[in-house]
Structure 1
Amino acid sequence: MEPRLPRGMRDILPDQMMLRRYVIRTFERIFEAYGFEPLHTPALELRETLMGKYGPDAEKLIYDAQHREGKEALSLRYDLSVPLARVVAMYPHLPKPFKRYQIAPVWRAERPQKGRYREFYQCDADIVGTTSMAADAEIVALIDEALTRLGFRNFVILINDRKLLAGLGRFSGVPEPLLGQLYRAIDKFDRLGMEGVQEEMRRYGIPEEVIRRMAGLLAIQGEGREVLQALAREMAAAEIPEAMEGLRELEALLGFLDQMGVSPQHYRISFTMVRGLEYYTGPIFETVVTEPKIGSITGGGRYDGLVGLFAKQSVPMTGTSFGIERIIDVIEELGMAPAGLRRTPVEVLVTVFDEERMGAAIATARALRQAGLNTMLYLEPRRLEAQLRYAHHKGIPFVVFVGPDEAARGMITARAMDTGEQRTLPVAEAARWIRSALGGSNGG
């Protein structure tokens, strides 16, 4: 049988896992610094839990996962937001605001391409139980800090509001049944430009007068509040409450971003940014990297109605999802990984001199582990050169020898693989030296 993988799936080998672990641990530290708590939900959900939440295009990508003798219709989770809404509905006693993060795999039957896989990890942070725009601003601040901490410089967080989008459509006179087509056309603005979007609108059957008015609104340019004020002036006489509410939400969000110290260089109001999922109800966010061109690396927004699909009363929610796969692809492509990031969690390899010294090598490995060092025993006596080649190939930073001379003196010899420096010391002192030398390195 030929060993192979399904399309869109992949193995992640240990050296790649070290970078992945570094990224995930960075996120975990930042999330917890902001007061978010970890949550686990199962990979399998009832099919009825997932269906009807994402829109027909997205739901075509959901994997069913039925056991041949199972009574319940099951599916692999498509994202982490709908399971969160189910949790909030099932456990109403959770204190609000409830701030949770979850880092776990999800599955989508998408067409595989660079940065897009059928099984991939999502990294979500959400705030449940408040309508304050301070929560939405904190999500944007969290995105900014997390990406900056990972070494990203060329990124921008695009911000829009679904209420404002709907208001723009009604102000332009888009017939209600065509609002969905309008959003699809606008969402292609970065790829097609203004003329291409207008052509898309024509293809969807949107009237020419509506296209002209919509193009005028999309052409408004400026920084932050300037854009909002210009749009408010343009729509002042129309009296569209939904649009005005969206403008007020974005104005409040920008004020909180100022207070939270988020650099204006890292975010921008974008009327042409449209998040695809149907459950968004207010501010929406999407982060794009300008180098390399890999698409969005975060996406999210406010979805106040989702819990109401599982419970009699809805609960306000806002949050974001980091695309770990694309983030790792960018880090690898631009060489952004920390210089000291190791390829293995192993810190010390204890070599085996010969069968007679096997017991001494085992005792040494045990003592080094007790001293707090990740220690691997080679397990069999082979030529020393072969054991050193193994340590070099694995990227293990220290090697320990317990030969006849060391064993007779109650010592071990520790060698730093990068510099060749070695010292013959009692185990406890050797452990202190190794820990000190490793202090500046990053094990991921």
Structure 2
Amino acid sequence: MALKKKPVTGMKDILPAEMQVREYVMNQIRETYGGFGFHSIETPCVEHIENLTSKQGGDNEKLIFKIMKRGEKLNLESAQAENDLVDSGLRYDLTVPLSRYYSNNAASLPAPFKSLQMGSVWRADRPQKGRFRQFVQCDIDILGDSTRLAETELILATTTLLGKIGFKGYTVRINDRNILKGMAAFCGFPEEAYDQVFIILDKMDKIGSDGVARELAEAGYDQDKINKYLSLFETVAPDASGVRSLGEALKDSMDQQQAENLAAIMDSVSQISTSQFHIVFDPTLVRGMSYYTGTIFEIQVDGFPGSVGGGGRYDKMIGKFTGMDTPACGFSIGFERIITILMDEGFTVPGKEDKVAFLIEKGVSDEVLNGAMKEAMEKRAKGGTVLVSQMNKNKKFQKDSLQKEGYTQFKEFYKDALK
């Protein structure tokens, strides 16, 4: 039986043209985030199954690639439950591993700690455009800072990066989980119902206000509460003044300082950023991860479904490891989605020196071959890119293919003479 040449469903081979773009973006990420003082770290791709199933990851916990025990620890005959077979899994995001990493290494890290982590994650998801079962995530996090400086720095760093790789006119949507809770409390929903209410609210962009009202009613909630709840969203301005006005309206249901904090973040970002984007208050923004405790944000690019980045504050997660809560806030860009957009737009890596291809006719003398290779080495020593390759019979097709890879100059070496 022939071996299968296609990759496993939901995973992909990366061709050289895309790899050039990926490496360029990764370099821009390291350079830009490094300029903001973030430290590169790395965590294992395999995590303890207890950490991955700690009810911190929302629906992602249903998508874990689980790893069976190994060697003598794996006993199929006596196993009665999954826990008898499984002790670890592939990470589904970088936030849970970061929290474990910080908990284990905090004494050796600066405070606050600004982390940059890039790496593959795995989810047994339904593959679609821009969504894979193995994909790269890129996270920046600030651990140990409870002030709005953390959110402001994260948004400024992320939008600066996007600006450097050519994105403009996109929207950063921002909200606060405390505002979500304040709105629900103001309208009389019981606290134990918040999660269900927010799950339904999160569908607003897909089913509209009428659809949200219908699903809330089907869930058994009072129509007066539903009407009062939805009317709040209709009157809120999408800027910092809207946040402050909403905070005033909800003063009996939440701490006004929480609204002021969010408004101040929006003001700071608007005044400081040099990138071209919109920052918009969106009180319908929920984000599904249950670990968020405060500010939340997402990035929306016109013409691309779903978000291309997101994050927020998760002040309770590290305490699950240490028993002591640590302020934490992070922002993740959708690396694969950004690459998909760039490739669809025909993006080419800017500022690269000309790439030269030396094509060698079959049968050239050692003197000609060695001379060509020596010349190539001299150009490489000066920082140039030189490909030395056997000349194909169909030279035109070969050159066309090399041009697609970015080669702009060609030098041909023949048995009798250099042409």
For residues 141-178 of structure 1, the C-alpha deviation after alignment (integer angstroms, 9 at most, x for no partner) is 12222222222223110100011111211221112221
Counterpart among 351, 366, 378 of residue 359 in structure 2 = 351
Please name the residue that 2:337 is paired with: 326
Please name the residue that 1:249 is paired with: 261
Please name the residue that 1:181 is paired with: 196
Does the 8 Å CA contact 2:174/2:282 hold for their aligned counterparts? yes
Secondary structure of 1:222's partner? coil
Matching of residues 307-326 of structure 1 within 5 Å: 307-326=318-337
The root-mean-square deviation of aligned C-alpha atoms, in Å, is 2.6
Does the 8 Å CA contact 1:348/1:400 hold for their aligned counterparts? yes
Please name the residue that 1:86 is paired with: 100
Does the 8 Å CA contact 1:300/1:320 hold for their aligned counterparts? yes
In structure 1, what residue type is equivalent to 2:358? V
In structure 1, what residue type is equivalent to 2:138? C
TM-score when normalising by structure 2:
0.87
Secondary structure of 2:25's partner? helix
Please name the residue that 1:31 is paired with: 33
Distance across 2 between alignment mates of 1:40 and 1:62:
20
Does the 8 Å CA contact 1:112/1:118 hold for their aligned counterparts? yes
Distance across 1 between alignment mates of 2:33 and 2:98:
16
Q: CA deviation at 1:247?
A: 1.0
Aligned length: 400
In structure 2, what residue type is equivalent to 1:349? A
Please name the residue that 2:165 is paired with: 150
Please name the residue that 1:99 is paired with: 114
In structure 2, what residue type is equivalent to 1:43? C
Counterpart among 304, 317, 329 of residue 306 in structure 1 = 317
Q: 1:70 to 1:160 in 2, by over 3 A?
A: farther
Q: CA deviation at 1:289?
A: 1.2
Does the 8 Å CA contact 1:144/1:266 hold for their aligned counterparts? no
Q: CA deviation at 1:208?
A: 1.7
Q: CA deviation at 1:221?
A: 2.6
Q: 1:126 to 1:56 in 2, by over 3 A?
A: closer
Distance across 1 between alignment mates of 2:145 and 2:90:
29
For residues 124-144 of structure 1, the C-alpha deviation after alignment (integer angstroms, 9 at most, x for no partner) is 111111111011011111222
Does the 8 Å CA contact 1:53/1:82 hold for their aligned counterparts? no
Distance across 1 between alignment mates of 2:316 and 2:387:
52
Q: Percent identity?
A: 32
Give 5+ residue unaligned stretches, structure 1.
Answer: 407-411, 414-444
Counterpart among 110, 116, 135 of residue 131 in structure 2 = 116
Distance across 2 between alignment mates of 1:340 and 1:18:
11
Does the 8 Å CA contact 2:300/2:307 hold for their aligned counterparts? yes
Counterpart among 345, 369, 386 of residue 380 in structure 2 = 369
Distance across 2 between alignment mates of 1:330 and 1:148:
14
Q: CA deviation at 1:404?
A: 7.3
Distance across 2 between alignment mates of 1:15 and 1:128:
37
Q: CA deviation at 1:261?
A: 3.4
Distance across 2 between alignment mates of 1:372 and 1:265:
36
For residues 187-245 of structure 1, the C-alpha deviation after alignment (integer angstroms, 9 at most, x for no partner) is 11111221111112112222222212211222223142321232133223x2x34x534
Please name the residue that 1:40 is paired with: 42
Please name the residue that 1:10 is paired with: 12
Q: CA deviation at 1:181?
A: 0.9
Distance across 1 between alignment mates of 2:31 and 2:154:
15
Secondary structure of 1:96's partner? coil
Distance across 2 between alignment mates of 1:13 and 1:231:
50
Q: CA deviation at 1:317?
A: 1.0
In structure 2, what residue type is equivalent to 1:74? S
Distance across 2 between alignment mates of 1:252 and 1:217:
21
Q: 1:368 to 1:341 in 2, by over 3 A?
A: closer
Does the 8 Å CA contact 2:64/2:91 hold for their aligned counterparts? yes
Give 5+ residue unaligned stretches, structure 2.
Answer: 74-85
The alignment status of 1:288 with 2:300, answered yes or no, reads yes
Does the 8 Å CA contact 1:158/1:270 hold for their aligned counterparts? yes
356-365 vs 259-268, greater mean Cα deviation: 259-268
65-74 vs 227-236, greater mean Cα deviation: 65-74
Matching of residues 135-146 of structure 1 within 5 Å: 135-146=150-161
Distance across 2 between alignment mates of 1:139 and 1:320:
6
TM-score when normalising by structure 1:
0.82
Secondary structure of 1:103's partner? strand
Distance across 1 between alignment mates of 2:72 and 2:287:
35
Q: CA deviation at 1:311?
A: 0.8
Secondary structure of 1:40's partner? coil
Q: CA deviation at 1:373?
A: 2.2
Please name the residue that 1:220 is paired with: 235
Distance across 2 between alignment mates of 1:177 and 1:201:
14
Q: 1:41 to 1:167 in 2, by over 3 A?
A: same
Q: 1:390 to 1:201 in 2, by over 3 A?
A: closer
Please name the residue that 2:83 is paired with: none
Q: CA deviation at 1:12?
A: 1.1
Does the 8 Å CA contact 2:66/2:88 hold for their aligned counterparts? yes
